[in-house]
Amino acid sequence: MKLSKFSSFEWKKFSRSSYFEKGVVVKILLILGALYFIGLAAFLGFAIIFGLEKAIPDQDPFVTLNNFLIYYVLADLGFRYFLQQLPVMNIKPFMIIPVKRSKVINYLLLKTSLSFFNILPILFFLPVTGVLIYKSYDVLGSIIWFISFLSISFCINYANFLINKTQVFFYAIISVLAVLVGLEYFSVYPVSDLFGDLFYGFYTDKYWAIIPIGLVYVLFKANYNYILKHFYLDGAIVEKKESVKQYDLSFLNRFGKLSTFLKNDVRMILRNARPKQVVMMSFLFLFYGLFFYTQDIYQDMPAFLAFASMFITGGFLISFGQLVPSWDSEYYKLMMSQNISYRQYLESKWLLMVVACVISFILSTPYIYFGWKIYLMIAAGASFNIGLNSFITLYGGALNRVPIELNQKAKAFSNTNGFNPTQLLISLPKILGPMIIFYIPYKLLNFNAGLIALAASGVLGLIFKQKFLSIVENVYQKGKYKTLAAFNEKQ
């Protein structure tokens, strides 16, 4: 069977899916967003050499660019891990017909190369290469430098596949990155200079390009062998029995009727891979303020400080709340067939997010080091998260109907990211809201007025809690059957 035949099957599956005709407006906005980023990448590619030449006239702009590209590589790896959807296909039908496993696996891996995240680097590095040739840099060296970074992009692509599928690879990558960042941060060894010399070496010592090209092959084979190891009908059909730990959650009984839902959510988080990743990512949000509070440029832009303050305590709320009710997609039909209160279901999710915000606020206490003004802004951001952002997030969850398969480790061929582009649109009021609420009183009066307005918005949200919950409940009730149909359909 030719690889083009697989593409034909995938297109028919996509075009015949109910998802194909849904969300036309969202699709248009996403296309416009993609065109924007494509244009931005191309513009930066053309302008960056000229910009560095003007900014640092005493140094070769190409050398300067290579010194900073390690940060691009790290950022690309991070964005892919949290945002990139891994292409998948239903491999079970191919297991019972005479199709070589190697062809199916090769197609699956080659399909990952068509990711939007692989197209952007081409649109950035290709104009850079053109500018280098235009400015009389070595033609062959510039082309090999471009091929090297294209190879690095594919390395990140295949590494991301392994990181999402195997916990061992994930922790290995995290450990290496932690060591490199530690060496650079504590001035033990200039890691950025080392990588800058390596990247520039792709241009000067052209044989260095063998390193990224060879690494692409190694990572491709690692993915191939991993999939081949799990490419068996019994592994795809027969589920492995695992022992399940029991947890004493009796302390949640104090919440009355909500305790049943809270216990289910806590067990889900403790027992499954994907929710554990959300908790880990939420913890990383606590360090978000270090980027803003340590930069002098943001001290004169308090609206951005308000944005950062909201993120510090809103990590779990944003990452967990935006996927309500997708967390329950595997048993949502069962839940909806029971005599349970939708209001109690939503209120339990709200309460879980509120508790997480309170814990995050307590853990953010060390930010007092930057002054009470910053800490009070974090407190105001926590108030906004608890009183307003929690309801906005729950409301947005009603529009998110992408099912989530909770345990990534157990399913080698399933889409484990659960990322819905609609979330990007829903995130706009959550991001711009605290900035606007703070900035208007700040501009008209003073800094304290902005703080009071941001904190008061959360207090008002708590006062009108029942009204907001009724609005959110009504949205969920209206979209109940659409949600059931979406969860019932495998993407």
- CA dihedral 218→179→192→188, nearest 10 degrees, is -140
> Among residues 237, 264, 284, which one ends one of the domains?
237
- CA torsion sign for 402, 435, 81, 314 is negative
Yes or no: say if 374 and 367 are a contact pair by the CB < 8 Å rule. yes
Residue 417 confidence (pLDDT) = 43
Is 243 among the domain residues? no
Domain of residue 100: give its range: 3-237
Indicate whether 218 and 363 sit together in one domain.
no
Percentage of the chain beyond pLDDT 90 is: 13
For residue 460, CA distances in Å to 211, 387, 432, 453, 456 come to: 58, 7, 18, 10, 6
Residue 89 confidence (pLDDT) = 54
Residue 12 confidence (pLDDT) = 66
Those residues with Cβ within 8 angstroms of residue 82's Cβ, 6 or more apart along the chain or in another chain: 281, 419
Residue 127 confidence (pLDDT) = 92
- CA dihedral 332→334→339→341, nearest 10 degrees, is -10
Is 245 among the domain residues? no
What does the pLDDT look like over 26-35, one tens digit per residue?
A: 566 667 777 8
Indicate whether 72 and 185 sit together in one domain.
yes
Instruction: Count Cα neighbours of 394 within 13 Å in the Cβ-side half-sphere.
Output: 30
Angle between helices 101-112 and 139-165 (to 10 degrees): 110
Residue 419 confidence (pLDDT) = 47
Those residues with Cβ within 8 angstroms of residue 358's Cβ, 6 or more apart along the chain or in another chain: 382, 386
> Among residues 213, 237, 261, which one ends one of the domains?
237
Residue 333 has pLDDT above 70, yes or no: yes
Look up the pTM and report it.
0.60
- Rg (C-alpha) for the chain, rounded Å, is 25
Is 133 among the domain residues? yes
Is 410 among the domain residues? yes
- Of 108-122, 244-258, 396-410, where does mean pLDDT reach its minimum? 396-410
Yes or no: say if 101 and 136 are a contact pair by the CB < 8 Å rule. no
- Of 43-52, 186-195, 263-272, 375-384, where does mean pLDDT reach its minimum? 186-195
Count: domains in the chain: 2
More confident residue, 209 or 398: 209
What does the pLDDT look like over 85-120, one tens digit per residue?
A: 655 555 666 666 677 777 777 777 877 777 778 888
Indicate whether 273 and 190 sit together in one domain.
no
Mean pLDDT of the residues in the chain: 79
Residue 129 has pLDDT above 90, yes or no: yes
For residue 211, CA distances in Å to 16, 142, 154, 450, 471 come to: 43, 16, 13, 53, 57
As a whole number of angstroms, the distance between CA 72 and CA 174 comes to 16
Those residues with Cβ within 8 angstroms of residue 284's Cβ, 6 or more apart along the chain or in another chain: 315
Those residues with Cβ within 8 angstroms of residue 228's Cβ, 6 or more apart along the chain or in another chain: 101, 102, 105
What is the SS3 assignment for 245? coil
Yes or no: say if 298 and 305 are a contact pair by the CB < 8 Å rule. yes
The amino acid at residue 31 is I
For residue 225, CA distances in Å to 84, 220, 369 come to: 22, 9, 50
Indicate whether 385 and 482 sit together in one domain.
yes
Q: Tokens 């991993």 belong to which residue?
A: 226
> Among residues 185, 205, 237, which one ends one of the domains?
237
Indicate whether 156 and 255 sit together in one domain.
no
Is 94 among the domain residues? yes
Is 282 among the domain residues? yes
Indicate whether 317 and 206 sit together in one domain.
no
